[in-house]
Homo-oligomer: A and B are copies of this chain.
């Protein structure tokens, strides 16, 4: 991220879409008569779990990677992440044929490490602490010269994530709401960026786990509140807002709703049963909040972003 906060614009999102179109999928939108009846709303599920690396984060990652000039590209990219951003950035770098260095706690699940390596990412392990991560990352970046692509607090990443809701409004007319999960706020920020110009009448709702509700409390307090070490089954949503995503949340988000872990698991089961989509717990938070706030959504046309599908089938949260 540049020293001075650069707020990405609608034109940045359009440029991102042109740049990444050859490298991402235009994911399908799915509906379920049963879930519509259950909620009294018309729900349209945008299935980003069907991106090649299994998550929407490939959009922002590809925008950053394919926007680099040749000199920087030769040195590649670098990030710290133990989640979908690490694998999506590795995937995008592999497509361009440039190096990707990832700093990851040595305690991260083996499956996550395997995925990054499958896409050619080079992992440097750190201790599971903020100080170790920062120290290790600074060293890796100094050694490689890789361009730092933050998982969400980066204008290129936010512009890339914004391409998802552009597709969604092309695929579905007259949405009253778009609901997406919120962790660090990259997807929500991109959604705000796009819809505030393209469909200003469509309200953006963020959905958050009760047990990691720092965005909800920030939204109500009017300033960023970061939790120390939140714990929720929706483990993609643990990270706090940062200045750039807070800008979008503060100015464009209509409301933030929360749901308990038990409600999130119930929503996962319903989506499997009626949409036949298995996804990460994080992706079930929107439906969980819709079921919890029926009056807010009844009779409305609601887009829902299913953010990712990287879950271990053998360790589903109801087993």
Contacts and interface: CB of A to CB of B under 8 A. Distances in A.
Given A25-B31, A314-B318, 9 more contacts: A28-B30, A30-B50, A32-B52, A34-B52, A49-B276, A50-B275, A278-B278, A314-B316, A314-B319
A70 interface: no
A32 B54 CA distance: 11
Contacts of A30: 28, 50
15 contacts: A25-B31, A28-B28, A30-B50, A32-B52, A33-B52, A34-B52, A50-B275, A50-B276, A272-B313, A276-B309, A278-B313, A313-B316, A314-B316, A314-B318, A314-B319
Chain A contact residues, majority secondary structure:
loop
Stoichiometry (number of copies):
2
Contacts of A318: 314
Indicate the member of A25, A30, A276, A278 with the most B CB atoms within 10 Å. A276
A195 B275 CA distance: 29
Interface string A293-314: 0000000000000000100011
A314 B269 CA distance: 11
Interface string A262-283: 0000000000100110100000
